[in-house]
């Protein structure tokens, strides 16, 4: 395989990387083979092992509960006041599983195929097939926990369709699926907390990773109420801290969701894979002004019955009800007749951007398209629509003061999810032995575009089924080493770096708030590394990000002290990491001179304006290695660039789903 010349970019190409844990043989047998080949830890010995789990969302909550149920000592952390407040609670639409209850042609292989194709052929086949296999077990697990999935009249679990597929495989609980799944995981976790098997630390944020003799052995954390910094040690560390979409400032993520845990792990030696693969969700409530600090998602499930359209004429500002049917453009149904409004998210988002760029957008500033339920209400009746989507309609009306039963919703794409994350092997282990990343914190399953309703599937697959099987192998092969204490030189070093960083933020005493820098960075990223990217724009972003970082260290104002509840300090510390991560995201997007999934380079598109991959050059995972500060002590104020990162390429091999130009027409 040939690779393009990238000598003009500020990075180094290193040795290739490979996933050595996935077994050979038929893809349908690899997970069973790996589980059998993995070494086990007998129940009596599990009680001697301590595992740190950071995060309590669907991935972290299910992992903590399952590991504790197996007998391990689990120490778990979340920055919320309760594990059940994790951002997974915000997921609305559903969870995929290849149960084929509808007898509509679904199967494990079809879910596998749809996911590889939906990810635009930038995901590993082994990982994706395992996810499809486990999907059927997840539903059984959740039903046994009492998750109240919707049911049809005959009593079977009901399903609906999501984007990028032609079957109904998405199980749901009205528009509250994430909440109900999280409560299921939370009750399992609570049982283990009550039994003394999980030591829970709420309102505590991980600030750095402790690596001793090349292995992950603990974390540095800060109590967000008292400001106390503490160290915690274990035989393995699991990061379940979600994605990094908040680097864009405005996203559908909870405002406190952040990238500090994964970025600090990256700086300690964990490779970061495909950071430019970010997902723009097509059905979000449009931005209304500079006062906003986050955006609100409207579930993709609404695209089952809602029809998306804009006026055919540019600049048509008439109310929707005044625009006749023959003057409306149902553009997704027109361009993609086979899938219609249920095309994948990246395609729906770009199509919305295109019609708005043509001057046919609706609402303030023309930054919106209509999602119209008039046909569904006529066909099904208002009562049936209310039963399926009532809470979503109520949320929309509360935010916009518009009744979606009477007027179409207005939607526009927004940052929602990140397919990139820490590089992991088939066992979900990073390049730091003993450090595992699960859920959205890793890169493993979705390629360049995640299909709707697959995030919940991956989080629970990793937490309930994959990690508990693979972490045994690591612990069995690496029995207890020397106990780690606060006196260890590696611990003293990382603790000093953490304290120095926080003290430095407090000492700048400038004249700008952390939020002002975050907003400036986010607007830059949305402009140059958002839905459409160009070489010129990404180069400009890479020029400006260091300037913003330099100004941040000169002018940021963090009032108060570090020995108290201090949200300004929390934000500023997270923005330090965003300012570094953003640079790697833009570099990754610049080096990948192709379009694939959510990564759309305007220089690489088909005559019809679709993403044009360059498989001969870019059919690989880009795994970036941090090389260390560029001659700048960790605590020194300033912005000298870090040493150029090293790019390691993991070739993607497709034996079962052969890459083709994606077509949803």
Q: Do 494 and 643 sit in the same domain of this protein?
A: yes
Q: Do 500 and 409 sit in the same domain of this protein?
A: no
Q: Do 408 and 502 sit in the same domain of this protein?
A: no
Q: Do 517 and 390 sit in the same domain of this protein?
A: no
Specify if 82 maps to a domain. Answer: no
Specify if 286 maps to a domain. Answer: yes
CATH number for the domain harbouring residue 348? 3.90.700.10
Q: Do 388 and 499 sit in the same domain of this protein?
A: no
Instruction: Using the 3D structure, point to which of 398, 415, 432 is the last residue of a domain.
Output: 415
Q: Do 505 and 629 sit in the same domain of this protein?
A: yes
Residue 346 in tokens: 């990246």
Specify if 638 maps to a domain. Answer: yes
Is 345 annotated as catalytic? Answer: yes
* Distance in angstroms (rounded) separating the CA atoms of residues 151 and 388: 11
Q: Do 405 and 551 sit in the same domain of this protein?
A: no
Q: Do 402 and 509 sit in the same domain of this protein?
A: no
Specify if 340 maps to a domain. Answer: yes
HSE value, Cβ hemisphere, 13 Å, CA-based, for 40: 7
* Distance in angstroms (rounded) separating the CA atoms of residues 227 and 287: 34
3-state secondary structure of 416: strand
Q: What is the pLDDT of residue 177?
A: 96
Q: Contact 96/638 with Cβ under 8 angstroms?
A: no
Q: Contact 125/655 with Cβ under 8 angstroms?
A: yes
Residue 587 in tokens: 């570099």
Angstrom CA distances, 540 to 250, 373, 544, stand at 21, 42, 6
Q: What is the pLDDT of residue 630?
A: 66
Q: Do 399 and 495 sit in the same domain of this protein?
A: no
DSSP label of 556: B
Angstrom CA distances, 98 to 5, 112, 467, stand at 42, 9, 21
Q: Do 285 and 404 sit in the same domain of this protein?
A: yes
Point out the catalytic residue in the list 34, 222, 345, 450.
Answer: 345
DSSP label of 103: -
* Distance in angstroms (rounded) separating the CA atoms of residues 546 and 79: 29
Residue 284 in tokens: 């979000």
Q: Do 500 and 643 sit in the same domain of this protein?
A: yes
Specify if 577 maps to a domain. Answer: yes
pTM, 2 dp = 0.96
Q: What is the pLDDT of residue 368?
A: 97
Specify if 150 maps to a domain. Answer: no
3-state secondary structure of 143: helix
Residue 528 in tokens: 């140059």
Residue with tokens 């050059």: 617
CATH number for the domain harbouring residue 639? 1.20.58.100
For the chain (length 665 residues), average pLDDT per consecutive 10?
A: 53 97 97 98 96 98 98 98 96 95 97 98 98 98 96 92 96 94 98 98 98 97 98 98 98 96 98 98 93 92 96 97 98 97 96 97 96 97 94 96 98 97 98 98 97 97 98 93 92 97 98 98 98 97 96 98 98 98 98 98 94 97 92 46 91 97 90
Q: Do 514 and 644 sit in the same domain of this protein?
A: yes
Residues spanned by the domain of 354: 281-415
Specify if 622 maps to a domain. Answer: yes
Total count of residues recorded for the chain: 665
Enclosing H/E stretch for 478? none
Instruction: Using the 3D structure, point to which of 400, 415, 430 is the last residue of a domain.
Output: 415
Q: Which of 444, 454, 459, 455 is nearest to 650 (CA)?
A: 444
* Distance in angstroms (rounded) separating the CA atoms of residues 316 and 294: 29
In order, the DSSP letters of 583-648 are: HHHHHHHHH--S-BTTB-BTTSB-TTS-B---HHHH-EEEEEE----SS--TT-SS-PPPPPPEEE
Specify if 198 maps to a domain. Answer: no
Q: How many domains does the chain have?
A: 2
Distance, C-alpha 378 to centroid of its chain: 37
Instruction: Using the 3D structure, point to which of 385, 415, 445 is the last residue of a domain.
Output: 415
Q: Which of 471, 303, 325, 314 is nearest to 392 (CA)?
A: 303
Enclosing H/E stretch for 415? strand 409-418
């Amino acid at each position: 395989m040939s690779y393009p010349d990238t000598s003009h970019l500020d990075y180094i190409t290193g040795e290739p990387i490979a996933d050595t844990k996935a077994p050979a043989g038929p893809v349908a047998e690899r997970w069973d083979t790996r589980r059998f080949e993995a070494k086990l830890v007998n129940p009596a010995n599990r009680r001697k092992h301590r595992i740190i789990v950071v995060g309590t969302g669907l991935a972290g909550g299910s992992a903590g509960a399952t590991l504790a149920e197996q007998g391990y000592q689990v120490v778990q952390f979340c920055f919320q006041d309760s594990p059940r407040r994790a951002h997974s609670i915000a997921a609305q639409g559903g969870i995929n599983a290849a149960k084929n209850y509808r007898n509509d042609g679904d199967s494990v292989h079809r879910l596998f195929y749809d996911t590889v194709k939906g990810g635009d052929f930038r995901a590993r086949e082994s990982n994706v097939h395992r996810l499809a296999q486990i999907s059927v077990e997840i539903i059984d697990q959740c039903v046994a926990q009492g998750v109240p999935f919707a049911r049809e009249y005959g009593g079977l679990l009901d399903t609906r369709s999501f984007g990028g597929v032609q079957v109904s495989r998405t199980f749901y609980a009205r528009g509250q699926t994430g909440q109900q799944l999280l409560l299921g995981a939370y009750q399992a976790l609570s049982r283990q907390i009550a039994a003394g098997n999980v030591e829970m630390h709420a309102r505590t944020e991980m600030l750095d990773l402790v690596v001793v003799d090349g292995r992950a052995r603990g974390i540095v954390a800060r109590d967000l109420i008292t400001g106390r910094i503490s160290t915690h040690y274990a035989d393995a560390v699991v990061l379940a801290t979600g994605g990094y979409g908040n680097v864009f400032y405005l996203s559908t993520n909870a405002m406190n969701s952040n990238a500090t845990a994964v970025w600090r792990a990256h700086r300690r030696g964990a490779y970061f894979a495909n950071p430019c693969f970010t997902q723009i969700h097509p059905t979000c409530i449009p931005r209304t002004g500079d006062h906003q600090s986050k955006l609100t998602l409207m579930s993709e499930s609404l695209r089952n019955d809602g029809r998306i359209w804009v006026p055919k004429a540019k600049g048509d500002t008439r109310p929707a009800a005044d625009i006749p049917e023959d003057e409306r453009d149902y553009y997704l149904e027109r361009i993609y007749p086979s899938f219609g409004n249920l095309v994948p998210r990246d395609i729906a988002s770009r199509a919305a951007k295109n019609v708005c760029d043509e001057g046919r957008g609706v609402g303030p500033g023309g930054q919106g398209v209509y999602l119209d339920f008039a046909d569904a209400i006529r066909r099904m009746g208002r009562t049936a629509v209310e039963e399926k989507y009532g809470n979503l309609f109520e949320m929309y009306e509360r935010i916009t003061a518009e009744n979606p039963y009477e007027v179409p919703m207005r939607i526009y794409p927004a940052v929602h999810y990140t397919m990139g994350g820490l590089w992991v092997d088939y066992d979900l282990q990073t390049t730091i032995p003993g450090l595992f990343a699960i859920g959205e914190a890793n890169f493993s399953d979705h390629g360049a575009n995640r299909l709707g309703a697959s995030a919940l599937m991956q989080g629970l697959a990793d937490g309930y089924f994959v990690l508990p099987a693979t972490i045994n192998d690591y612990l069995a092969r690496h029995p207890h080493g020397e106990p780690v204490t606060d006196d260890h030189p590696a611990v003293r070093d990382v603790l000093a770096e953490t304290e120095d960083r926080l003290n430095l933020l407090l000492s700048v005493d400038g004249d700008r708030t952390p939020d002002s820098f975050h907003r400036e960075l986010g607007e830059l990223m949305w402009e140059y590394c958002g839905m459409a990217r160009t070489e010129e724009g990404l180069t400009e972003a890479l020029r400006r990000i260091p300037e913003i970082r330099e100004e941040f260290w000169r002018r940021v104002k963090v009032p108060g002290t570090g020995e108290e509840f201090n949200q300004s300090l929390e934000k500023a510390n997270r923005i330090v990491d965003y300012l570094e991560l953003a640079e790697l995201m833009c570099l990754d997007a610049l080096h990948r001179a192709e379009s694939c999934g959510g990564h759309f380079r305007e220089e690489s598109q088909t005559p019809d304006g679709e993403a044009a991959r360059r498989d001969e050059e870019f059919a690989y995972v880009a795994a970036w290695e941090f090389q260390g500060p560029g001659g700048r002590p960790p605590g020194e104020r300033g912005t000298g660039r870090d040493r150029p990162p090293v790019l390691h390429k993991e070739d993607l091999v497709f034996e079962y789903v052969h890459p083709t130009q994606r077509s949803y027409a």
